[in-house]
Chain A
């Protein structure tokens, strides 16, 4: 590009500018072209990576010709969960958690088990040791055992047997759960028993073994007193561990964070971790199963609200570069005013999403009812195709006889399509597999259930326990609370039970203290009169 040769002095500056601009423009164009080439290169490398994971899509066009970039939008790839080597984020979290608890919890469980076994052996063998040791150590000095003494032997034997049964009943049960902290009452009782036994041994060691007491009856009575005291400690254990929390003291409200399902339970005086355990056991039995597919509608509505408005900075007030004091405030102030502007604009905008929601819900309801009607008819018709064979007929025709499973498989195809469509409409299709449906059908046929009874488990979502194990979602729960988890429940305690997909929010309210007074009613005090309203003519 050549500058015009004829130029005036004053115009030199003016005319030079266009030259520079055009030159700049040319340079800019060159820069663009190189950028495009770089972009092309990146696209091809991504495609090569993705080719190893998923089957090649129609993306070979852009890789061959560098100057064509109209296929660029089509060749971007995203990480999907469809290939066999990919893992979603949820699976990773679940696997790590499973690893964690399979190692950690077993250690702790074995430790407590061994401790309990040692303590039990100590407790049971101590009275026997008390009785046997004198015979072993100083048999010649020992007085012979008279009638009363032998009577005490029987008492010791039976009391030990009762203690054995009682300990087996109270303590030797399958552990229901692994709790985060030590069970305070059990720890206290263990310490008490240990102290008790140790003090008895001390006394025995000092006063009886050292001095080699000859009064065998006294020793036997000492052993009997030990067993009596152990039985009383067991009574204390029953009261502390079992009886104390039976009387309801608190009303807890459990809410699921994803869909707001709420239940109320009555609990006694428990520590927070034991209360959490009780609540979780109720959760598995009472709450309808968590269905993430039902939450997608509200999430999409929320996304639409957010995407509706975008803020553009027209005045060009850019915040200062380094994050110093005044500069930072300016940036914060800018963001604050931006968000306020967004909120104000959203409030003023005439949002019609409520209208859409209303009609969508009405439409969905209609669709569900239509599918349900078709399903009910199909199932009823399917059930009419088979009937139970009577005893007399069994001898006649052994040909076409089927067991329940085969019968279920025979009538299942006629209702499969209607059932599948219904489950899809109510977003329950992942809760029931073909196998489970056929099993349930065979079960219903065996137990002479009507079609309506068969369908009930598909029409309403049942509690989590009714579904197969992989829908129990999480057996690993995290208890998060501001107070210590071994402290007791109080009025206004709030804690969270978190699992992978949702959390349960628990709030506590104390049942009030009731002041009752009495009022005596004499049975003869119930007297009545007629309400008179006469009219006499005179």
Chain B
């Protein structure tokens, strides 16, 4: 995952689809986000590069919709329903995730363990690259 401004970001991503849960008057997803281009990147405990101003998952409600969908703490959210999240302010990101007319959010997230898994599978042989890669792990450009 490079973080050169203006350069395309290369990452191994996972698609996660979360169904929003209705709780009283709100639709909740069950996780908390941190980060954003208006925030201080040095205080992010999950980012590898301390200048990374992306949106990260900081907490997951256990047994919530996000946890069941496969989201984990420390994931970096790259897209929400097709909208790019890498250059967003914190408030803009919150708004994208909490649209009242959407029931489902489809996220593209990345985490360190994904890259390592791809490396391991690539290292064990070139053939497995074509058929061994799981369908929801894609190399994204």
Contacts and interface: CB of A to CB of B under 8 A. Distances in A.
B34 A535 contact: yes
A538 B32 contact: yes
Q: Which interface class (under 10, 10 to 19, 20 to 34, 35 or more) fits B?
A: 10 to 19
A172 to B, nearest CB: 73
Interface of A: 531-538
Interface string B93-130: 01001100000000000000000000000000000000
Q: Chain A: interface secondary structure?
A: loop
A536 B38 contact: no
A538 B34 contact: no
12 contacts: A531-B43, A532-B39, A532-B40, A533-B39, A533-B40, A533-B43, A534-B39, A535-B34, A535-B58, A535-B59, A537-B28, A538-B94
A534 to B, nearest CB: 5
Q: Chain B: interface secondary structure?
A: mixed
Nearest to B27: A538
A534 B94 CA distance: 11
B29 A536 contact: no
Given A531-B40, A531-B43, A536 B28 contact: no
B34 A534 contact: yes
B34 to A, nearest CB: 5
B33 interface: yes
Nearest to A535: B34
Given A532-B38, A532-B39, A532-B40, A537 B97 contact: no
Given A537-B59, A538-B97, A538-B98, A532 B31 contact: no
Contacts of B40: 531-533
A538 B43 contact: no
B90 interface: yes
B96 to A, nearest CB: 9
B39 A538 contact: no
Among A533, A534, A535, A538, chain B packs the most CB atoms within 10 A around the CB of A538
B31 A537 contact: yes
Contacts of B31: 537-538
Interface string B41-70: 001000000000000001100000000000
Given A535-B33, A536-B34, A537-B59, 4 more contacts: A532-B38, A534-B39, A538-B33, A538-B97
A528 to B, nearest CB: 13
Contacts of B90: 532, 534, 536
Contacts of B59: 535, 537
B64 to A, nearest CB: 10
A538 B28 contact: yes
A531 to B, nearest CB: 4
